[in-house]
Structure 1
Amino acid sequence: MAARFSTALRTLSLPRPAASLLQPTIAQQARRSFQTSKTLRDAVVATPVVATRRPVGAFRGTLFGFLLGSVLAGGGLYYYVIDEYKVSNELLTEDIYALQAAVQRIEGYVKSLESEVKTKK
C-alpha cells in the first residue's frame, strides 16, 4: 500500500523540466544584459535649485568671532566694574558717615571739656 501511494504521488507531481521554467538557471541569469528604453535614457533629471550662499571665509569668520568675543567680554567687564563701583561707593559712604559720627562725638567731648574749664576758672 505504501508503494502504491508513492507511485501515485509520482504521477501527480510536476515533471522536472516544468519546475526549471519557473526558476531560471545560473547560465540564463548570466546571459541577461542591462537594457533601458529610449525614453528612460532621454529623461531629464531635474536638480533642485539650491540657494547660493557666500561661504564665510576664514578671515571674515575670525574677525567676526574676535569682535563678538570682544563685545561680550567688554559687556561682562562693564557690568562687573559697575557692580564693584556700587559696592565700593556704598562702603565709602558708610565710612564717611562713621567718620562724621566720630567727629561729632569728639566735638561733644571738646565742648564739655571747655565748659568744665570755664567753670573751674
Structure 2
Amino acid sequence: MLSRFSASARIASSLPMRPVLAAGRRYESTLKVGDAASTSSARPAQEAPKKKRPIGGFRGGLVGFLLGVTSAGAFGFVYLIDEYQRATSLVLSSVDELEKSSQKVREYVKKIEVVESDLRKVQQNGATLQQLAQLKADWRKQNDILTRDHLELKAHVWELEQDVDSAMGRTSSAKPKPSK
C-alpha cells in the first residue's frame, strides 16, 4: 500500500495544483486540466496565515503622492517660467514701441519749437495792420507834398521862361496846365 501511495504522490506532485475553498478551509486539487477521469487527492492545505496590514502600502502611497506633487510642481514651475518669459518679452516690446513713439514726439516738439521761434521773429520784425495803415497815410502825405512842390516848381520855371522871353522880345507861350 505504501507503494501505491507513493506512486499517487508522485503523480500528484507532477500535476499542477489548484486551490479550492470549501467550508472556510483551503484545499488543493491535483486534477489535470484536460483529464476529468484522473485521480484526485484532496488534502487540506496549510492554514492560511492571518493577513497583516502591510505598512508598505502606506509608504508606497506616500511616496507616490510626494512624487506626483513634485512632478506637478515641476511642470507648474516650468509653465510659470514660460509664461513669465512671454509676459516679459511682451512688456519689453511694449517698452521699445513706447520709446520709439516718445522719440517721435520729441522730434515733433523740437520742430514745433523751431516754428514758434521763427514765428516770434516774424512777429517782432513784421508790421501790424495799424503800422501798415500809418505807413500808407504817411506815404500819401509825402506824395501830396511832392506833387505840390512839383507844381510850384513848374509854375516857377514857367515864370522864368516868361521873363526870359520878355527880355529877348519874343512872344510868350500860354501858361501850361497843371498835371495831377
Task: Normalising by structure 2, report the TM-score.
Answer: 0.38
- From the two aligned structures, give the one with the greater strand fraction: 2
CA distance in 1, matches of 2:59, 2:5: 52
Letter in 2 for 1:97: D
Q: Counterparts of 1:58-97 in structure 2 under 5 Å?
A: 58-97=57-96
Match for 2:79: what amino acid?
A: Y
SS of structure 2 residue aligned to 1:61? helix
Give the length in aligned residue pairs: 73
Alignment partner, residue 113 of structure 2: 114
Q: What are the residue-to-residue correspondences of 1:1-121 with 2, within 5 Å? A: 34-36=4-6, 57-121=56-120
- Kindly state the Cα deviation for residue 62 of structure 1 after the two structures are TM-superposed: 1.3
Q: Using CA pairs under 8 Å that are at least 6 residues apart, name the structure with larger relative contact order, 1 or 2.
A: 2
Within 2, Cα distance between the matches of 1:35 and 1:60?
A: 49
Shift in Å, 1:57 = 2.0
**Distance (whole Å) between structure 2 residues aligned to residue 60 and residue 73 of structure 1:** 20
In structure 1, stretches of 5+ residues that fail to align are 1-32, 41-54
Decide which structure has the larger Cα Rg and report it. Answer: 2
RMSD: 2.1
Partner Cα distance (1:58, 1:67) in 2: 14
Deviation string 1:19-45 (CA, Å, 9 cap, x unpaired) is xxxxxxxxxxxxxx82438xx8xxxxx
**What TM-score comes out, normalization by structure 1 length?**
0.55
